[in-house]
Amino acid sequence: MGDRRIGVDVGGTFTDVTLSLDGELVTAKVPSTEDQSEGVIAGIEKACEAAEVDPETVSEFSHAMTVSVNALLEQDGAKTALVTTDGFRDVLEIGRQDRPSLYDLSAEKPTPLVPRRRRFEVSERTTTDGIEQPVDEDEVRSIAEQLREMDVESVAVSLLHAYAHPENETRVADILRDELDVPVSASHEVLAEFREYERTSTTAVDAYVRPAIDHYVSRLTDRARDLGIPQPRIMQANGGITDADTVRRNAVTTVLSGPAAGVVGAGSMAADEQAGLVTFDMGGTSSDVSLVRDGEAERTTEGVINERPIKTPMIDVETVGAGGGSIAWVDAGGALRIGPRSAGANPGPACYGKGGTEPTVTDANLVLGYIGESTSLGGELSLDADAAYDALSDLADQGGLDGPLEAARGVYRVANANMTRAIRSVTVERGYDPRKFGLAAFGGAGPMHAASIADSLDMDRLVVPRASGVLSAYGLLAADEKRDAVRTYQRSLGAVDPNDVDTVYEDLSEELLAEVSDREAATVRCSADLRYAGQSFELTVDVDRPFDTTDARERFATAHESAYGYRADESVELVNCRVTTTVKRSAPPVEYTAASDPQKGSRQAVFADEVRETPVYKRAQLPPQDRIDGPAIVEGDESTIVIPPAWDVQVRDDGTLTAAVSDT
């Protein structure tokens, strides 16, 4: 029967599925559902039916979802309470002094996830040196009674300096867990790291999304059991897979689960791009951009979702609200805008024929000829070309444009400009020259826009992996098992005892190794957050064990010089110790064979304001080593690739398409 793995990624419009079996890769795409688990099971059944296999023969089920990020974006998470140290009730509201719009006098901070009436103080005091005032247990029980009367659904506990000495916080959390039948998130368990606002915010986010994650994973596990497939393994924001019980306890780690899977998939399928990759994932509601260097995705320890900081290890992804379903509109000044509002899966773009009337990027691509009027998206969704033209005609009237074709050109260009800015933010703004990278395009809409975006950035290499329309789902099959831990250990490097630092790393390593699926196969990676004295930010660098202060100082200076252009003759501070454990998994072997006669016809498409008769090819029938000169359109089951004039396409032996600016 062999190794049969299935990966399912839920997007805003479609749910994507990949099934690997006996060297074959079977894909499926179904509309996302309000209860995401329904679409997940429908997608699994569709893929298994296409492969003619019984779901009960599937050996592994990996999953990426949008439950937590949707709860944050739509602000419909749990009714959450916060218990904190006396005098720190308003940390969530005060936040930081910095503002995204420095000169906007009317700028408002986001509404806290926990309103003030559900924020409670306890009389305790912890410093970095230890416990000065223990917890009054009767006071905590009194708070528990108030929380019960308020019918809270989740509680966050974040006491001052609990990252250094968690005894008081542990006691508060234990009492609340005994008294209440709701999940309790304690900051030293969620993020054992200093900075009160960020630690409290991350803990509040964990509590806010935890009931939704718990309910969803429970429903999905039950549905999977009924179908006869294994319990789902869940993708985390750090690009690693873990078991369902772990994400129930650490719900905040599931933010940006899907985008992380896409970056992993791109890195796996395009691993031989030596110079590195800019990954570009354009789905139904947004586009995600990241960077892969030296075979590894760029990682960060802090992200922001809906203006709320979240400090958890994650793949560094820049997201813009421009996807295939993003709605085009004209602002008060007459400028054409794209997103962030999306038509979603229901009713979807006007061309879906489900009642949508507003123009979207997908409608523009159809009018431009990049999507054929007879194309069926996902293999089953027929398009309504007249509805797309009507929607673009209305947009043209609003913007004073000359008909639906000019409106479609404008939508395409504005969407590309938005995504180009996102790519600049992860390359140029961080000191990397995008011209030295290949552009890996995937997602349902990414390959339609990628060549045009590459042109605007003077990037001359485009990589479109096989199964590009469902690459996040494929990434789930290739992802390693990963776990992260952090502990603040703030000292000047010149004053630390290396043995004490090694003890911290040993404790963190044992904590993680006790939870991995295969301790013998696990590798341990240690890193440190370092900064020059007086700086308010840190850089994370890998360190060896036994810990060597001289080596750590030199690695930090090199990283600082690379990031900021200089190294300073200042003392260096150690701030946080980090450990990552990894159990490596190999991507499933996938064979690629193709039939001959790949051209299916031609249609008119717009390139540089010129309408041209353009050959259309079936991707699944492109033979290895074949070459196609642009302009051309290559149609797959889940995505379409648009190749403009002056570009050509080559087919690799594994089915990956590489496009480059033609030499002729």
pLDDT at 80: 97
Asked if 204 and 111 sit in the same domain, the reply is yes
Average pLDDT over residues 135-158: 96
Asked if 300 and 439 sit in the same domain, the reply is yes
Average pLDDT over residues 87-107: 82
pTM of the shown model = 0.86
CATH code assigned at 163? 3.40.50
Is the confidence at residue 486, as pLDDT, over 60?
Answer: yes
pLDDT at 347: 85
The predicted-structure confidence for 195-222, as pLDDT tens digits, reads as follows 999 999 999 999 999 999 999 999 999 9
In this structure, is residue 647 part of a structural domain? yes
Average pLDDT over residues 568-574: 93
Asked if 515 and 447 sit in the same domain, the reply is no
Asked if 83 and 60 sit in the same domain, the reply is no
In this structure, is residue 177 part of a structural domain? yes
pLDDT at 34: 85
Runs of H (alpha helix) within 324-445: 361-367, 385-399, 403-426
Q: Which of 478, 498, 528 is the last residue of a domain?
A: 478
Is the confidence at residue 2, as pLDDT, over 70?
Answer: no
Asked if 110 and 178 sit in the same domain, the reply is yes
Runs of H (alpha helix) within 6-55: 36-51
Asked if 352 and 370 sit in the same domain, the reply is yes
Average pLDDT, the chain: 89
Per-residue pLDDT band at 664 (split at 50, 70, 90): low
The predicted-structure confidence for 226-249, as pLDDT tens digits, reads as follows 999 999 999 999 999 999 999 999
Average pLDDT over residues 496-518: 94
Asked if 368 and 381 sit in the same domain, the reply is yes
In this structure, is residue 249 part of a structural domain? no
Q: Which amino acid is at 546?
A: P
Q: Which amino acid is at 313?
A: P
Structure tokens at 500: 């004490």
pLDDT at 378: 53
Per-residue pLDDT band at 302 (split at 50, 70, 90): confident
Q: Which of 435, 458, 478 is the last residue of a domain?
A: 478
Runs of H (alpha helix) within 228-325: 244-249, 257-269
In this structure, is residue 152 part of a structural domain? yes
In this structure, is residue 251 part of a structural domain? no
- 28-32, 52-56, 120-124, 647-651: lowest mean pLDDT where? 28-32
In this structure, is residue 338 part of a structural domain? yes
Asked if 330 and 387 sit in the same domain, the reply is yes
pLDDT at 381: 62
Helix (H) or strand (E) holding 282: strand 277-282
Is the confidence at residue 59, as pLDDT, over 80?
Answer: yes
Asked if residue 470 lies in contact with residue 638, where contact means CB atoms within 8 angstroms, the answer is: yes
Query: Other C-beta atoms within 10 Å of 611: how many?
Result: 12
**Among 485, 496, 447, 493, CA closest to 467:** 447
Per-residue pLDDT band at 318 (split at 50, 70, 90): confident
Asked if 506 and 561 sit in the same domain, the reply is yes
Asked if residue 318 lies in contact with residue 210, where contact means CB atoms within 8 angstroms, the answer is: no
In this structure, is residue 289 part of a structural domain? yes
pLDDT at 655: 84
Average pLDDT over residues 41-55: 92
pLDDT at 250: 92
Is the confidence at residue 374, as pLDDT, over 80?
Answer: no
pLDDT at 661: 86
Is the confidence at residue 69, as pLDDT, over 90?
Answer: no
pLDDT at 390: 92
- 37-41, 66-70, 356-360: lowest mean pLDDT where? 66-70
- 58-72, 378-392, 548-562, 568-582: lowest mean pLDDT where? 378-392
Domain total of the chain: 6
In this structure, is residue 26 part of a structural domain? yes
Is the confidence at residue 376, as pLDDT, over 80?
Answer: no
pLDDT at 219: 94
Q: Which of 583, 609, 639 is the last residue of a domain?
A: 583
pLDDT at 67: 87
Per-residue pLDDT band at 274 (split at 50, 70, 90): low
Task: Please count the residues of the chain.
Answer: 664
Asked if 202 and 230 sit in the same domain, the reply is no
Radius of gyration of the chain (CA): 26
Asked if 151 and 208 sit in the same domain, the reply is yes
pLDDT at 379: 52
pLDDT at 505: 97
Range of the domain at 650: 600-661
pLDDT at 377: 60
Asked if 200 and 108 sit in the same domain, the reply is yes
Is the confidence at residue 637, as pLDDT, over 80?
Answer: no
CATH code assigned at 316? 3.30.420.40
Please tell me the distance from the alpha carbon of residue 449 to that of residue 370, in angstroms, as a whole number.
10
